Amino acid sequence: MGHLRNFVTPLHKATARDYIGRMVDEKVKCMLKAKEYEFDYWDGDRRFGYGGYKYMPGRWAPVAKALIETYGLKAGSRVLDVGCGKGFLLHEMLILEPGLEIVGFDISEHGLASNTDEVKAKANLFRYRAQDAYPFGDKSFDLVISLATLHNLRIFELKTALSEIERVGKQAYVMLESYRTEQELFNVQCWALTCESFFDTAEWIWLYRHFGYTGDYEFIYFE
């Protein structure tokens, strides 16, 4: 197994959330809309997802810097983002190291279309599912990343996704939602709209080992 990281947690903790408010706001209807992963999920009402996910210069810069430094990325390094969404992290990575070769895929047409001009010009972006066999050769990338995507897969889909991340990447880092206490489990169940796999940290680590994933990982919690 790789190392437990703390790249995204500071950003995650900076956002306030009304857990009970979301749970009692026609939660099932909102979940169904969110799982379309299109405009409403990204830029519609907050009850369906992000509530307007806009590029904020520098917001993702600390995460980008940590990834570049931790994994020794430089000009010519190849990076794959599994579930890249709007690509704001990729944008910050390209600011810090313009010579990176970026590939990203997502199931959301709206998310891909909303990538910044910088990312669209320099990255290879396409629509694809994280749970399908990836169209790349073994160890094609210096780093494979996946942020806030894998918990949206069912367990048999996780097997393929984790195996493929392991196969195509020389190094890997994944971040997803988890819990450590009953309160955190309750909170994530109230808040999450698209999560399919509710596992605590010990269960996730067991799954990583079971599916042969040896890369780094991070959990975000709803405290």
Where does the pLDDT of residue 1 fall: very low under 50, low under 70, confident under 90, or very high at 90 and above? confident
Q: Sketch the domain layout of the chain as residue ranges.
A: 9-220
Backbone angles phi, psi at 56, to 5 degrees: -115, 110
Length of the chain equals: 223
Total Cβ atoms within 10 A of residue 90: 27
pLDDT of residue 149: 98
Q: CATH number of 9-220: 3.60.15.10, 3.40.50.720, 3.40.50.150, 3.40.50.11750?
A: 3.40.50.150
Element (H, E) at 86: none
Going by DSSP bridges, is the β-strand pair 216-220/124-127 parallel, antiparallel, or unpaired?
unpaired
Element (H, E) at 206: helix 201-210
CA angle 52, 145, 218 (to 5 degrees): 85
pLDDT digits (tens, 9 = 90+) for 169-218: 999 999 999 999 999 999 999 999 999 999 999 999 999 999 999 999 99
Which carries the bigger pLDDT value, residue 1 or residue 148?
148
Tokens encoding 68: 């570049």
CA distances to 44, 99, 185, 201 from 181, in Å: 31, 43, 6, 10
Tokens encoding 146: 């996946």
Residues 172 and 176: their CA atoms lie apart, in Å, by 14
Question: To the nearest whole number, what is the mean pLDDT of the chain?
Answer: 97
Residues 52 and 15: their CA atoms lie apart, in Å, by 14
Single pTM value for the model: 0.96
